Amino acid sequence: MKKIFLPITAIITALGLLGGCAANSESRTSGTGSDPQGGSSAGARSNAEPTAVPELAGYNLLWNDEFDGDKLDESIWNRELREPGWTNNELQEYTDSDENIFVKDGKLILKAAKTERNGKDYYTSGKVNSQHNKPFTYGKVVVSAKTPVGQGLWPAIWMMPEDESYYGQWPRCGEIDIMETLGHDLSTAYCTVHYGAPHAEQQGTITGNFGKGFHEYSVEWEPGEMRWYVDGSEVLVVNDWFSGDEGQDDKPYPAPFDQPFFVQMNLAVGGNWPGNPDATTDFDKAQFEIDYVRVYQKPSYDTNVTKPEVNYREPLADGNLIYNGDFAEAEDLSDDKIWTFYHADGGNGTAEIKDNTLIITTEKEGTKDYSVQIFQPELPMMKGKNYRVSFDAYSDEARKMIVAVTAPTAGWRRYLNDTKFDITTEKKTYTFDFTMSAKNDPNGRLEFNMGHCGSIATIYISNVRVEEVE
């Protein structure tokens, strides 16, 4: 059985670092208390009192930074420089300035600043990475951090490969996002993995108050599986990734996550996901605080792994890929089983099943198409097959709605493009055909989107079908 072993020098170093630490503890040892919102509240540390690093059962400490000193340890961290707009349409310039990156009171601070240049708002911020200094293949990364509040602030803890070209440029090279939050909504933390061509991703979320106190974010990366945790609670487990050029055979599994990666942390300003800052964003408090970064590694890893078989959901006896499409079962629409009702970005409303009909009542239409949405995932979509979506619908008054079949774990591509259509007060059958041209996907998703359509009229849907046709 093939295994990968940690070099003996690293083991000796790790054992020396672990000497005198409390065994089998994942909590802070001194200077921390219980935060009422579930995070750890870390106090300032004296430079004369280095932090004791806890042992983890089954792991050796590979490297760590407790930020006990008074300046950034540049044997570990690089200050990454980037111009505004380098990625995701973000606004900030990443600088090497001590105004944007500094160590204070036992914490690394990445601070965003709003200035002015050529008569316009200009933003700077900080990003650090351990590329070429602390690469590793497989391990457990544990980071304690406090995220900032404010529209347009986007902190992240993530990992990228040392050699991004080894399997090809992003996303083929792979990306492991340990944590992201959005400053305008700190009730949710996101854990994500990106890979493949076409771009695919898998994401888990957890709710909490992530702008209050310090929280611990971690990922366990092994040859055939990755597991994400926030404050010890499991958020996401992934074991079925791939890499390769679109239309070509995939690289041998577990590519691309079988090569050295490095850790990086940054505080972005603006961009496609969080949107830009506004008058409510307080840049005096726009700082991402990191209390510690710890990377552990097992003495060895079994790399003789195989990709799990993909399970495709079976259609019903009549060929329908949609479960409960006749709405015979008045299911709970908030439990993420079969049908799910969702609202976000200013959208609000309710949904219920009554008399074999799905009834969606919109209170606020929100700012996005998906601000009010009902969907069903896990639809098996097979390359080269032709499919038909059909359903009956009407509304209390004439309005518009959008239907689509999407790929939430394959880069949100559209198998059936977002199709906006008119519905009236008269019940009518709607039919849409499409051909599946992408690679097989066990997780196609039928969506009905009712947000941002210029109406909040109640919609009634029945007899929903997705089926293979000649």
| Active site residue ranges | 175, 180
| Residues 312, 315, 316, 320, CA torsion sign | positive
Nearest to 139 by CA among 239, 60, 211: 60
Q: How many CB atoms lie within 10 A of CB 450?
A: 31
Among the listed residues 148, 88, 458, the one whose alpha carbon sits nearest the alpha carbon of residue 288: 148
Asked if residues 361 and 395 have their Cβ atoms less than 8 Å apart, the reply is: no
Contact 154, 126 (CB under 8 A): no
- From the list 458, 460, 455, 461, the residue with the least C-alpha distance to 399 is 455
Q: In what order do the strands lie in the sheet with 113-117?
A: 92-94, 120-125, 113-117
**Six-digit token string for 70:** 């008074």
How long a stretch of residues is the chain? 470
Cα gap 340→132, rounded to integer Å: 45
CA dihedral 140, 144, 148, 152 (to 10 degrees): 0
Specify the long-range contacts of residues 95-100, CB closer than 8 Å, at least 24 apart.
95/124, 95/125, 95/126, 97/124, 97/126, 99/124, 100/124, 100/125, 100/126
Cα distances from 1 to residues 233, 302, 304, 309, 406, in angstroms, run 32, 7, 6, 21, 40
Q: Which two tokens stand for residue 239?
A: 């074991």
212, amino acid identity: K
In whole angstroms, what is the distance from residue 62 CA to residue 6 CA?
A: 9
What distance in Å separates the CA atoms of residue 305 and residue 225, rounded to the nearest whole number? 9
Q: What whole-number distance in Å separates Cα of residue 335 and Cα of residue 324?
A: 15
